[in-house]
Chain A
């Protein structure tokens, strides 16, 4: 009797436990469903006011936590084989010693490292030897700092207006921004950096001595977004001038349909990306504000060379035709120390090379791969962790490419390895060309004789630099990259052969130094 009772009791306890566990499961599912439903409501509450002076990304982050978290992650240090982030990034000069000869006489031959994420861009510029040990122009801050309110302040001050924080925060004042940009572009780096520190950053009602009147920020929210509508926009004066020039050219731009539309409309007013471009185009333009070829030193205002088009020879042609405004001298970026030739320094023409590639032609913007859409809960956001698509193949590539991650990685590796191999060959050709020119100079050829060789040297170095300093190792347009490197090798070898011929003739004894080298 007693045992039967306790057995029944035990059975009930077991059943109760089972029911309890099942209840826990059901509640877990219920709560999960509830949470998912909440996520799908996409709440956005504007808790903090941001305006045209809010260069500090933190208040924006209160309103847009998901985007802000992504932006902060650009400080993370995951590396890809080509490009990426690193705490103390490896020196490219040690990795590729030929770069020292390519940049001989230019600050890049002293300090040239892999770049880090956007969050580091101002700090890393402040500490590089290129800035600490050399005189640089304030134009560098056009891209490395959130500088637009500073341009606006200087522009307004020049126009004789009294500039308060409220006035700066009021509107964009395009004309004042352009005027401020032109006013400081040729001033020394330190001077413009000091101007930057004098501009409010919108965190508090700043007064003298306030820490938020004086701290400068790297590129942040306000550089790509309208603070009232959050609309994506272009702010950089260099780009606004450059893209207007491109629109006036007759370069075919099938990947930028709004430019063709503007041309067809016969518009009198200059092409304005903020009113004429589609949202999809702007998703590339915001990157093209900085990831381009430009002149950035103090002999003339910062210039994007897009007057003839976006191909490598179009940019080269513009530089060939450019004269410095003050002395009327022919344009050059630096004098190559070893040979004395005036040469061009390619910056990082990602926008231009992308323009020649299949992805641009297919309507794929920079942001589609570098800031792909992702789901945060139920909300679809563009990832603000701007980084290599190779670290994010699922979201960056597989949205369009129905192929496995390993296969996609392999395709990219093939393109980049081939480009890398061509770069190495072009570098060998370039160094042998330099040897030959030095030999010819030692054998006493005249400057007039050297002129055509110098032209070939400039073309060869420009093309090699164009692809080696572009941040995709050929991926942005693989055939175009191969074409440019092929031309570089050709020009190097032509220059080398011409230098040998001349040097041989110049040395009357016939005992050419080539033989001893």
Chain B
């Protein structure tokens, strides 16, 4: 094994001698990394990784845990004005991507391990997000019902308007 390692490693060049000096083990490693990158790229493409950057609702049913929510959203009153992200991601640029990353990671984890509740249940954090997006669009209409001090407790919109999104699954 040892003889394959070049004698001099001081001046690595692009010459054939340089390749020898680079070494078979290094070559083996580079091939491995290349395979990993290739495999990773393929998996990213096959898993529709790029779509997660978009707001297309079809992205949300890449994993079919939310198929029924998607189906009923298509029949819901919000279908023409709002997609998943409009209600489930904050409307400010930073919050949006933080929430997307947070949900993206934990949803993938849960779906891969299969240890999630069925029917799925919203987390308190995401519930707050949804409430804030309701208010963001409808604030002109409901401002008289909003709490006097920002962040104060208020009734949840979907407590009464349960069917606006995808209730009838």
Across-interface contacts of A483 in B (CB, < 8 A): none
Q: In the complex, which of the residues A16, A26, A32 contacts B29, with contact meaning CB atoms closer than 8 Å?
A: A16
Q: In the complex, which of the residues B5, B46, B68 contacts A5, with contact meaning CB atoms closer than 8 Å?
A: B5
- Which of B35-43, B79-87, B135-143, B145-153 interfaces with chain A? B35-43
Is A33 within 8 A of B25, CB to CB? no
> Is B19 positioned at the interface, with any CB of A under 8 Å from its CB?
no
> Is A164 positioned at the interface, with any CB of B under 8 Å from its CB?
no
> Is A30 positioned at the interface, with any CB of B under 8 Å from its CB?
yes
Across-interface contacts of B119 in A (CB, < 8 A): 394-395, 398-399
Across-interface contacts of B65 in A (CB, < 8 A): 375
| Size category, A interface | 20 to 34
The minimal Cβ–Cβ distance linking A34 to chain B, given in whole angstroms, is 8
> Is A276 positioned at the interface, with any CB of B under 8 Å from its CB?
no
CA–CA, A22 to B29, complex, Å?
13
Given A29-B112, A380-B68, A394-B119: A9 in contact with B25 (beta carbons within 8 A) = yes
Interface residues of A in 30-71 (CB under 8 A from B): 30, 32-34, 36, 39-40
Given A5-B5, A375-B65: A36 in contact with B118 (beta carbons within 8 A) = no
> Is B110 positioned at the interface, with any CB of A under 8 Å from its CB?
no
The minimal Cβ–Cβ distance linking A105 to chain B, given in whole angstroms, is 49
Is A36 within 8 A of B63, CB to CB? yes
Across-interface contacts of B169 in A (CB, < 8 A): 399
Is B33 within 8 A of A19, CB to CB? yes
0/1 interface trace, chain B 85-99, chain A, CB 8 Å (1 if under): 000000000000000
Interface residues of A in 383-417 (CB under 8 A from B): 394-395, 398-399, 402
Across-interface contacts of B35 in A (CB, < 8 A): 23
Given A29-B47, A29-B112: A16 in contact with B64 (beta carbons within 8 A) = no
Across-interface contacts of A23 in B (CB, < 8 A): 32, 35-36, 39
0/1 interface trace, chain A 11-27, chain B, CB 8 Å (1 if under): 01101100110110011
CA–CA, A9 to B23, complex, Å?
10
Across-interface contacts of B118 in A (CB, < 8 A): 374-375, 394-395
0/1 interface trace, chain B 19-35, chain A, CB 8 Å (1 if under): 00000011011001101
> Is B121 positioned at the interface, with any CB of A under 8 Å from its CB?
yes
Q: In the complex, which of the residues A15, A26, A402 contacts B40, with contact meaning CB atoms closer than 8 Å?
A: A26
Interface residues of B in 37-88 (CB under 8 A from A): 39-40, 42-43, 46-47, 63-65, 67-68
CA–CA, A389 to B124, complex, Å?
26
Chain A binding surface, main DSSP class: helix
Across-interface contacts of A36 in B (CB, < 8 A): 63-64, 111
Is B32 within 8 A of A19, CB to CB? yes
The minimal Cβ–Cβ distance linking B157 to chain A, given in whole angstroms, is 13
> Is A514 positioned at the interface, with any CB of B under 8 Å from its CB?
no
CA–CA, A23 to B36, complex, Å?
6
Interface residues of B in 115-132 (CB under 8 A from A): 117-119, 121
Across-interface contacts of A380 in B (CB, < 8 A): 67-68
Is B43 within 8 A of A30, CB to CB? yes
Is B64 within 8 A of A40, CB to CB? yes
Is B64 within 8 A of A378, CB to CB? yes
Residue of B at shortest CB range from A19?
B32
Residue of A at shortest CB range from B158?
A402
0/1 interface trace, chain A 425-466, chain B, CB 8 Å (1 if under): 000000000000000000000000000000000000000000
The minimal Cβ–Cβ distance linking B4 to chain A, given in whole angstroms, is 11
Is B40 within 8 A of A33, CB to CB? no
The minimal Cβ–Cβ distance linking A374 to chain B, given in whole angstroms, is 6
Across-interface contacts of A13 in B (CB, < 8 A): 25
Interface residues of A in 82-100 (CB under 8 A from B): none
Is A15 within 8 A of B29, CB to CB? yes
The minimal Cβ–Cβ distance linking A154 to chain B, given in whole angstroms, is 45
Is B29 within 8 A of A30, CB to CB? no
CA–CA, A380 to B68, complex, Å?
9
Residue of A at shortest CB range from B117?
A394
The minimal Cβ–Cβ distance linking B144 to chain A, given in whole angstroms, is 26
Residue of B at shortest CB range from A394?
B117
0/1 interface trace, chain A 224-255, chain B, CB 8 Å (1 if under): 00000000000000000000000000000000
A interface with B by C-beta (< 8 Å): 5, 9, 12-13, 15-16, 19-20, 22-23, 26-27, 29-30, 32-34, 36, 39-40, 374-375, 378, 380, 394-395, 398-399, 402
Question: Could you give 16 example pairs across A and B, Cβ below 8 Å?
Answer: A5-B5, A9-B5, A16-B28, A19-B29, A20-B32, A22-B36, A23-B39, A26-B43, A29-B43, A33-B43, A39-B64, A40-B64, A374-B118, A394-B118, A398-B121, A399-B119
18 other contacts beyond A9-B5, A23-B35, A30-B43, with CB at 8 A cut-off? A5-B5, A12-B25, A15-B29, A16-B28, A16-B29, A19-B29, A19-B36, A23-B36, A26-B40, A30-B42, A32-B112, A34-B46, A36-B64, A40-B64, A395-B119, A398-B117, A398-B119, A399-B119
